[in-house]
Amino acid sequence: MTLFSRTVTVKVVSTLLCTSLAACGGGGADTDSATAAMTVSNITTPVAAATVPAVDNGDAAKLTPVSVVPTSSASQPVSQSTGSASTVSVPSTASPSGPSSTTPSVVPPAQVPSAQPVPAVVAPATGTSQPVFQPVVSAPTAPAASTPRPSVPSSTTPSVVPSTPAPSAQTPSSSTRDGVFGTYLRPYAADSLWNSRPLNPVFGTFEIPKSSYFPTVASGAYSTGVFLASATDAPMTVVGPGSTATNTVGVADPDSGTNRVITLPRWPAAVLPASGTDGHADIVDPITNIVHSFWQLKQQNGRWTAAMYSWSKLGGTGWGDPSHYYQGARAVGIPASAGLIRKHEIKDGLAAYPHALAMSLTFNGLANGVSNPAYIFPATAADNSANANTGAIPQGSLLMLPPNFDSSAIVNPDLRKIVETLKLYGAYVVDRNTGTPFVIYVENDAGFNLMPKGWDNSVADQLDKIRAALRQVTSAQAWVDGNGDVIAARNAPQQNLNIVSMRGGWYRQSGTGAAAYDPVTQNFSFAATTTKTVYVNANNTGLTPVKWAKPQAGTYVNFTVRATGGARLRLQVKSGNSFTHDTWDLVDGKSVRILWPANASIVLIASSGTSGPSSVNATLVPST
C-alpha cells in the first residue's frame, strides 16, 4: 500500500457516520506526485494453497495525499505492471525512497468464464461511479510488493507513546459475543463505521474487473496479528531501520512529522510481525486503550526496528480524522487490524461477522485521483501512486453485495458467512494489492482456509461471482450502530471535524524557553519558564492535508483555543501570499469566526505562560 492519509468517523451520534461514504468526502488527488508499478507474473498452473493473500503494495506508502496524472481508464484485468516503488511524502518532510519487490502472487489466474453480474439493484452514482453522498429521501428501496515508508526529518529523542489518553441470523448480536465495544475482542465504538451497517444503501454501477488471480480471503504475509499487552509486560523501545550501536535512527511518525524513537510501556512477548515486506503488527494496550500499529516491524541485531509507527484509540472510530490523520499502517491511515476477521469470530455460531470487513483492490479496480478521487470519507489517506490505477473505486469506499445476491448458491460455509457479512455490513477498501481483484483480510494464525484440501475450482468460481456482484455504496438512508440504534446519515462538512493540528515546523521567534509538539496529548507544550517565549509554525503543516475535509472558499469556520498555564495561540490565515485574517493572541476558551479564503494556508503563533509549564491546542471546524 502507499502510506499517509486519513479520515474521521463522526456520527450524528458523534463519530463517523456519513450520508454517503463518498460524498462525505470527495478526497481528491494526493498532494505529491509519484508513480508505482509492479510486475505480476501470470501463473497458469493451479497451486495448492488458495488462501495466500494478494500482492500488497506496502501499506506504508500512503501517508500523504498526492497529486496524480491521468491514466487510461481501461477496465481490463492487469496481467503485468512494473515494479518501481511508490514515493511517499509526509507534510514538511523529505520524500522517501526504498526498494521495490516484484514477487508474484501464488493464486492461479482467473481464467474462468466471465461470471454474469448480479442484476443491478443499484442506483447509478453521478459521473463515473463517483459517489454522491446525498441523503436518500425516497422510500427504502500472493506476497505483496512493498512500497517504502515516508522519510521524515530525523529525531532520535526517545518518545513514550500514548499512555494516558434484537438479534437474528442476519444481525449479529453483541450480547452473544465476548467483550464490549472498544475492547481487544471488539475494537472501536458501537457507532464506529466498522460496527455500523447502512440502511437501504444505494449502489454504484462499476464492477470490479478480473485480474491476474482469483479473489481471496486470507491471513498470511500481508495481513497482521493482533497482540494483547498485559500489565506485567515490560516496556520496549523501537528504533528506525539502519540504527546501529553508535547511531540510533528514529521511526517515521506521520502524526508528528518527524522520525522518533518509540517506547511502548508494555510489549507482549508473543509479538510476531507478518512475514511479508510490510511486516504488519498491531499491539493492543487495554490499560491505555491504545492500538499501536507498526509497518515493517522486525528484529535486527537484537533490537526491534520499524519503518513507521502510528496509534489510534481502541474505543474510537477506527479511522483517522483530519487533524490526527494517520492512525495506522494501512494505506488509508488506519491500523492493519481494523476490519480483520478475528480468530474468535470464525466459529462463533453467528451467520455473519458483527462488523464491516477490510478489503484491498488491485490497480484496475481503484480510482486514479483524476476521474474519481483517490480516497473518500472515511479514509484520510491513500496510496500516493494513484495515477497507476485504472479503475473507479476510491480507497475508503464501502463495497457491499446487493440484497438479492443468492447466498444459497455459496456452498462453502466459511465463504457463505462472508457473503452474509458483505450483504449486511460490507467491506471497506483500505489498501491496494497487485494482481488480485479483491483480498479480504483475516487475522494471522486464525487457521482460516477456504481451500483446506488444496485448490478448489468451485470455491474460486464462487469468489469470482462475489467479485462480479460487489458494488460501491454511494449513499444510505441511515445507519444502525452496534447497539441497534438508528443514526441519521450525515455528510462530512456537517460533522464538525477539526482540521488543525499543532504538529511540525515550529521555530522559536523570541524568548529562551523550550517547546515541542507532544504526539500523546496533541498539544504544543512549553517547558516551565518565567519569561515569555514565542514559537511560530509558518509552513502550513498545521492545516490538514485531507482533501475532503478542507473548507470551501467563502464558508465560515470557528477557531477555538484550548490553553493551559497562561499560554496563548494566534492564527493568521493567508490566501496565496496575502493575509486575510488575524485572530491575534487568544487565551483558553476564546473563539473567532473566520471567512475561509481560496488557496488558504495558515500560520500559528504560540506564546508561553510565565508561571510554569503551559500548552496550547485548538480546533478549526465549520461554523454552523
**Average pLDDT estimate for 487-505:** 78
Residue 624: its pLDDT value, please? 76
Residue 512 counted as domain residue: yes
What's the pLDDT score for residue 489?
Answer: 67
274 in any annotated domain: yes
Domain containing residue 142: 1-149+192-232+289-297+321-492
Give percent of the chain with pLDDT exceeding 70.
70
Q: Indicate the residue among 492, 517, 552 that finishes a domain.
A: 492
- Is residue 317 over pLDDT 90? yes
In the chain, what percentage of residues exceed pLDDT 90? 66
Residues 441, 552: one domain? no
Q: Are residues 398 and 369 in the same domain?
A: yes
| Closest listed residue to residue 16, CA positions, set 322, 309, 300, 254 | 322
- Per-residue pLDDT, averaged over 377-403, amounts to 95
Contact 206, 39 (CB under 8 A): no
Q: How far apart are CA 138 and CA 257, in angstroms?
A: 45
**Residue 84 included in any domain:** yes
Q: Has residue 361 got a pLDDT over 50?
A: yes
What is the model's pLDDT at position 179? Answer: 53
Each residue of 321-337: pLDDT tens digit?
999 999 999 999 999 99
- What mean pLDDT is predicted for residues 180-200? 95
For the entire predicted model, the pTM comes to 0.76
Query: Sorting pLDDT into bands at 50, 70 and 90, what band is 219?
Result: very high
Q: Are residues 422 and 329 in the same domain?
A: yes
Residue 156 lies in a domain: no
Residue 243 pLDDT greater than 80, yes or no: yes
144 and 242, same domain (yes or no): no
Q: Please write the tens of the pLDDT for every residue from 257-282.
A: 899 999 999 999 999 999 999 999 99
Cα–Cα distance between 394 and 27 in angstroms, integer? 8
* % helix, strand, coil for the chain, step of 5: 10, 25, 65
> 284 and 335, same structural domain?
no
Whether 162 shows a pLDDT value over 60: the answer reads no
Residue 529 sits in the same domain as residue 453: no
Angstrom CA distances, 582 to 409, 488, 586, 599, stand at: 64, 37, 11, 16
Cell numbers at 609, concatenated = 505562560
Q: How confident is the model at residue 27, as a pLDDT?
A: 37
**Average pLDDT rounded to a whole number, residues 110-117:** 33
Q: Is residue 154 part of a domain?
A: no
pLDDT at residue 419, rounded to an integer:
98
The residue that leads in pLDDT, 95 or 340, is: 340
Q: Is the pLDDT of residue 80 over 60?
A: no
Write the CB contacts of 355 (distance below 8 Å, at least 6 apart in sequence): 186, 194, 195, 339, 425, 482
Q: pLDDT at residue 150 above 90?
A: no
pLDDT at 83: 30
**pLDDT on residue 104:** 31
| Cβ partners under 8 Å of residue 142, min gap 6 | 52, 53, 54, 55, 103, 104, 105, 106, 107, 213, 434, 435, 436
Give the residue from 461, 492, 523 where a domain finishes: 492
Q: How far is CA 71 from CA 82, 192, 216, in A?
A: 15, 35, 27
What is the average pLDDT across 50-70? Answer: 37
pLDDT over threshold 90, residue 106: no
Structural domain contains residue 159: no
Q: Count structural domains, the chain.
A: 3
Mean predicted confidence (pLDDT) in 117-145: 33
Q: Do 302 and 242 sit in the same domain of this protein?
A: yes
Give per-residue pLDDT as tens, 278-293. Answer: 999 999 999 999 999 9
Lowest mean pLDDT among 174-178, 204-208, 340-344, 357-361: 174-178
**Domain final residue, candidates 427, 462, 492:** 492
279 lies in a domain?
Answer: yes
* Helical packing angle, 457-469 and 413-424, nearest 10°: 10
158 lies in a domain? no
| Model pLDDT, residue 496 | 81
Amino acid (one-letter) located at 335: P
pLDDT at 396: 97
Are both 464 and 559 inside the same structural domain?
Answer: no
Residues 367 and 219 in one domain: yes
Q: What is the pLDDT of residues 412-425, one digit of tens each?
A: 999 999 999 999 99
At 614, which CATH number? 2.60.120
Residues 401, 472 within the same domain: yes
Identify the weakest region by mean pLDDT among 160-169, 224-233, 449-458, 532-541: 160-169
Supply the pLDDT for residue 301.
Answer: 85
Say yes or no: 356 and 467 in one domain: yes
Give me the chain's average pLDDT, please: 78
**pLDDT value of position 491:** 53
Classify the phi-psi angles of 432: left when phi > 0, otherwise alpha if psi is within -120 to 50, otherwise beta. beta
Enclosing H/E stretch for 500: none
Query: Do residue 225 and residue 242 come from a single domain?
Result: no
